[in-house]
Amino acid sequence: MRVLVIGSGGREHALCWKIAQSPLVDEVFCAPGNAGIAEDAVCVDIGSDDTAGLLRFAKDNAFDLTVVGPEAPLVGGIADAFLAEGLPVFGPGATGAMLEGSKAFAKDLMSRCGIPTAAYRTFSDASKAREYVEKEARGNVVVKADGLAAGKGVVVARTREEALQAIEEIMARRAFGAAGDRVVVEEMLEGEEASFIAVCDGENVLSFASSQDHKRLLDNDEGPNTGGMGAYSPAPVVDVRMEGLVMDRVIEPLVWGLKKAGITYRGVLYAGLMITDEGPFVLEFNVRMGDPETQPLLVRCASDIVPVMLEVARGGSVKSLRIDSSAGPAVCVVAASEGYPGPVVKGRVIEGIEEAAKIEGVKVFHAGTTLRDKRFVTNGGRVLGVTATGDTLTGAIAKAYSAVSKISFEGMHYRRDIGKKAIGRMP
Ligand code: AMP
Ligand code: GLY
């Protein structure tokens, strides 16, 4: 069979790499892909936001399965467009994708289903939001733009002034465009974050292993939020008991709530969690795999992922299928460009990828890369996701950093503490 993957990041590289290993698959295409993806799939120059172009390409090539990597096309309704043409697509329709596309929608659904989440209020009027922060809110608050903002529309305010400033930035100065029509102001939760990623066929859920992202730019979780500077799996903060709580309190009520709202949700359900003393609380839902969590999850994934995606895309059931993970942990360290998470410098020559990839158990996933004169050059904010497996977490971390040390490009920066939090809690 032939599979099309939509997207161009490290997550999509990991997806293409994994899908290409399936004995069911003859050919993998990726639109638009990147220089590293081109080694595992045929890249075609169609942007992930060009629904009409993608649809035409998929129809012409009669793909058996299309896997949508990023959220924006899902929120824009690409899955509905493919389904209307009878093309099997892995990813929810636009209504389901509102779970990620609108914080207010997600919060309302959570409160209707009794899913634990921070207490919140939604405002479409900046002066009402300000008044709430000044007079009513207790303790520290988090201010969130209501629409998609590439992981950057959230301000965890340490002071009342910071919260007011965030409202000003988002609603008055429109720092995130139309996402600033509304804000969600919510209570700040204390705990440790984890990602819980699962596949849903509308009824049944299969979960991947737990994982943890590192959202802040700098070591010790300092600096601004980014798309994610590294990840590891499993996350020991999600032990067997906690996993049970996540299924009982979050995932099952969510699947029920979506059904009750008349939404047949087929695709990835990703719960961004805060693990607190009182159990899991949901910070956000996403409707696609995490980036960079996908990289360690898929190198650990011992099952063929294609039958699962295909069943979901065809409207079937995953009840008899499984997603198994190997016992050894995996770690992904993101190497980013000068300027990231702000505007970045592109076109810098990358050295050492081949040497890094020679290390046993290391896979270098590409994100913002392209080819110039047959050499890899930087082409985005997050450039590479250097991923390693090991028998122990410490071993996987050491291997990932030893691979990173072989790679260089001008302005390259990365966190030195990926996975550190979990050491001591893991063998
Ligand atoms: P979100 O996009 O909603 O997941 O928010 C981005 C990041 O902001 C999260 O990964 C957390 O680090 C932080 N955050 C969001 N909501 C809260 C909250 N209620 N309490 C503490 N931190 C939060
Ligand atoms: N790594 C966080 C995300 O994909 O949203």
Instruction: Say which ligand is closest to the CA of 385.
Output: 2
Contact 34/17 with Cβ under 8 angstroms? no
Q: Which atom of ligand 2 is the closest one to the Cα of 291?
A: 4
* Cα–Cα dist 39/48, whole Å: 19
The residue contributing the CA closest to ligand 2 atom 5 is 290
Successive 10-residue mean pLDDT values, the chain, 427 residues: 98 98 98 98 97 97 97 97 97 97 91 94 90 85 81 81 90 79 91 96 97 96 93 95 97 96 97 96 97 98 98 98 96 98 96 97 98 97 98 96 98 97 76
Instruction: Say which ligand is closest to the CA of 153.
Output: 1
Instruction: Say which ligand is closest to the CA of 212.
Output: 2
Ligand 2 site-directed mutation target among 12, 74, 193, 195, most atoms within 8 Å of CB = 195
Task: Give the pLDDT confidence score for residue 427 in this predicted structure.
Answer: 55
Q: Which atom of ligand 2 is the closest one to the Cα of 286?
A: 5
Task: Give the pLDDT confidence score for residue 150 in this predicted structure.
Answer: 62
Q: Which residues line ligand 2 (CB under 6 A)?
A: 151, 213, 228, 286, 290-291, 293
Phi/psi region, residue 198 (left: phi>0; alpha: psi -120 to 50; beta: rest), is beta
The residue contributing the CA closest to ligand 2 atom 4 is 290
Tell me how far apart the 2 most distant CA atoms of the chain are, in Å.
62
Q: What is the DSSP letter of 41?
A: S
Ligand 1 site-directed mutation target among 71, 105, 140, 142, most atoms within 8 Å of CB = 142
Domains and CATH numbers, the chain: 2-93 (3.40.50.20), 125-181 (3.30.1490.20), 192-313 (3.30.470.20), 330-425 (3.90.600.10)
Instruction: Say which ligand is closest to the CA of 230.
Output: 2
Contact 134/141 with Cβ under 8 angstroms? no
Tokens 């207790």: give the residue.
138
Identify residue 52 by its one-letter amino acid code: A
Residue 44 token pair: 């075609």
- Please give the angle made by the CA atoms of 76, 196 and 106, to the nearest 5 degrees: 45
Task: Give the pLDDT confidence score for residue 63 in this predicted structure.
Answer: 97
Contact 180/189 with Cβ under 8 angstroms? no
Task: Give the pLDDT confidence score for residue 26 in this predicted structure.
Answer: 98
Residues ≥6 apart with Cβ < 8 Å to 283? 117, 118, 189, 193, 272, 273, 274
Cα(297) to centroid(ligand 1), Å: 22
pTM for the predicted model, two decimal places: 0.94
Residues ≥6 apart with Cβ < 8 Å to 260? none
Tokens 């719960």: give the residue.
271
Ligand 2 site-directed mutation target among 75, 213, 418, most atoms within 8 Å of CB = 213
* Cα–Cα dist 127/359, whole Å: 56
Residues ≥6 apart with Cβ < 8 Å to 320? none
Cα(227) to centroid(ligand 2), Å: 6
Ligand 1 site-directed mutation target among 121, 156, 195, 213, most atoms within 8 Å of CB = 156
- Nearest 10 degrees: Cα torsion 73, 246, 319, 83: -10
Residue 322 token pair: 């499984």
Kindly give the residue spans of alpha helices, DSSP state H, lying in 182-316. 240-246, 252-260, 294-300, 306-313
Q: Which residues pair with 205 in a beta bridge?
A: 200
